[in-house]
Amino acid sequence: MNQWREQMQAYIAFIENKLDEYVPAQTAFPPVIFESMRYSLLSGGKRLRPMLVLAACEAVGGEQADAVPFACAMEMIHTYSLIHDDLPAMDNDDYRRGRLTNHKVFGEDIAILAGDALFHQAMEIMANMCAEYPTEQNTKAMQKIIHGAGVHGMLIGQVVDVYMEGKPLDEETLSYIHRNKTAGLIRASLEAGAVLGGADEATVERFAQAGEKIGLAFQILDDILDETGVFEDLGKPIHSDLKNQKTTYVTLFGVDESKKIAERLSLDAIDIWQTLGEKGIFLEAITNYLVSRKQ
């Protein structure tokens, strides 16, 4: 497993460098928006979604370079969602990745605009690729990412999450939130990567199925860590779900049963990766890491 951890770290370092290039520091007026964007974008993290874009592309025989702009765009979209999620009107969190959230440093107004700016930067990066290299693969990859981030993916999950805050949820509604809010971008990352690598529709669909299962398992583990983790590992306050009166898999099923559900979902995804043979080993390693993480 150590060799795969090293490979993941290499991916993370590569992605960090590319993100820095795509959103460089600015001194021209007004520099504050770039400072705010970079504060959250370059604050570390697992870089799971861009890593999945790159790994999926390579798993089906594609070239990493073709997927890099889309991978970075995906991380910008994810970061914008975190900035907005942390706002007082949403989850009202003070810490993210071990340091103050964006609005605590730059104010709510600039934090909102920084999230907007990252989203638009992501769209521009992908649109530029489609304009410079007008291939069907680039266009479809952009479609997959936008779809996963929008009202049929992450955004609608966030809407239902906010709307149902403080209200009792059944498993069906909770699963709907997670399949969209969390799994939406993870599914789109794998779909986009597979498309960019030249996969056929049946393979892209299998990657989408794996992404949904990984996304659900990822969120269930987040629910568990919010209950059992510590601030030093998570980099954010624990028991925030309880504070916000949110129903989670832990409140519905308890910690032990939630772990079993996450493990079953992960094994289902791994079954899909194993159909790829050696090319699926790294995706399998990422999946195993996600269900054993402490942060």
DSSP-derived secondary structure for 137-199:
HHHHHHHHHHHHHTTTTHHHHHHHHHHTTTS---HHHHHHHHHHHTHHHHHHHHHHHHHHTT-
Residue 5 confidence (pLDDT): 85
pLDDT of residue 1: 58
Residue 284 has pLDDT above 90, yes or no: yes
| pLDDT (mean) for 111-124 | 98
Helix (H, G, I), strand (E, B) or coil at 53: helix
Among 3-7, 10-14, 285-289, the least confident range: 3-7
Which has the minimum average pLDDT: 12-21, 25-34, 138-147? 25-34
Q: Which of 17-26, 181-190, 234-243, 263-272 has the weakest average pLDDT?
A: 234-243
- Nearest-angstrom CA–CA distance, 168 and 174: 10
Q: How far apart are CA 276 and CA 257, in angstroms?
A: 30
Which CATH architecture does the domain made up of 2-290 adopt? Orthogonal Bundle (1.10)
> What pLDDT, on the 0 to 100 scale, is given for residue 240?
62
102-116 mean pLDDT: 98
In this structure, are residues 244 and 25 in contact, taking their beta carbons and an 8 Å threshold? no
- Residue 238's pLDDT is 55
> In this structure, which long-range contacts are made by residues 121-127, counting pairs with CB atoms below 8 Å and at least 24 apart in sequence?
121/22, 121/23, 121/37, 121/73, 121/76, 122/72, 122/73, 122/74, 122/76, 122/77, 122/80, 123/73, 125/22, 125/69, 125/70, 125/72, 125/73, 125/76, 126/69, 126/70, 126/73
The pTM of the full predicted model, rounded to 2 decimals, is 0.94
Report the candidate in 184, 187, 185, 181 with the shortest Cα–Cα distance to residue 163.
Answer: 181
Residue bearing the bigger pLDDT, 97 or 87: 87
Contact present, 67 and 199 (Cβ < 8 Å):
no
- The pLDDT assigned to 118 comes to 98
pLDDT of 234 > 80? The answer is no
How close are the terminal C-alpha atoms of the chain, in Å?
Answer: 18
Residue spans per domain, the chain: 2-290
Whether pLDDT at 289 is above 90: no
Tens digit of each residue's pLDDT (9 = 90 or more) over 160-209: 999 988 888 899 999 999 999 999 999 999 999 999 999 999 999 999 99
Q: What is the mean pLDDT of the chain?
A: 92
Q: What whole-number distance in Å separates Cα of residue 131 and Cα of residue 117?
A: 21
Q: Looking at 1-15, 112-126, 192-206, 253-267, which range is the least confident one?
A: 1-15
At 29 the pLDDT is: 84
Q: β-strands 99-100, 95-96: how paired?
A: antiparallel
The amino acid present at 205, given as its one-letter code, is E
Share of the chain above pLDDT 90, in %: 79
Residue 28 has pLDDT above 60, yes or no: yes
Which pLDDT tens digit goes with each residue over 240-263?
A: 655 656 788 998 999 999 999 999
Residue 295 has pLDDT above 60, yes or no: no
**pLDDT at residue 243, as a whole number:** 60
